[in-house]
Amino acid sequence: MPGITLGDTVPNLEVETTHDKFKLHDYFANSWTVLFSHPGDFTPVCTTELGAMAKYSNEFEKRGVKLLGLSCDDIQSHKDWIKDIEAFTPGSKVKYPIIADPNKEIIPQLNMIDPIENGPSRALHIVGPDSKIKLSFLYPSTTGRNMDEVLRALDSLLMASKHKNKIATPVNWKPDEPVVISPALSDEEAKKLFPQGFKTADLPSKKGYLRLADVS
């Protein structure tokens, strides 16, 4: 895909939101951010998703992670739409800011474009405190996000960052489950980093590359 992608720095755009105006890098500073886009207000799948984001907001707060929405309409439209979002998902409160992009000028700069429909997409970037994209999801218009998977992927990124990317998380990993030790580490280096020990999978190749450790 053209445009910014994994490892790229998000452009430091000045944006107008339902809260106030700010530069994106100021918002990203000192924390991780989930930045998610929507093609327009008062659309059915997006209404369910923004309600879910609000409902899960405590989970993001517990992890020290900010939320930032974006939709291709103006501020007043966003504020009116929020009433529907909160009504559809009882108990949810949309406390996170939503960027206004009525002229669709911001969304292509953030590479949140649907190549099939050739227009704004329902995309999601997880952005680190360094303003770089750490993970991206791009959804077709027919498929809503899975919030549990967004949280799981976020937990994986936070865990890897905590251990300076010397570990990775295996398939279907969840917090408190074993992680994989990077193949870049020798066994001696791994023993120093994981004094509690680790398990090497006994595989036919006998290459010893699949090592699992319990971490916190």
Active site residue 72: no
Cα distance between residue 74 and residue 76, in whole Å:
6
Q: In what order do the strands lie in the sheet with 32-38?
A: 98-100, 65-71, 32-38, 122-127, 133-139
Helix axes 75-88, 44-55, angle to 10 degrees: 70
Cα distance between residue 37 and residue 29, in whole Å:
20
Residue in 24, 46, 110, 190 annotated catalytic: 46
The residue type at 50: L
- The catalytic residues are 46
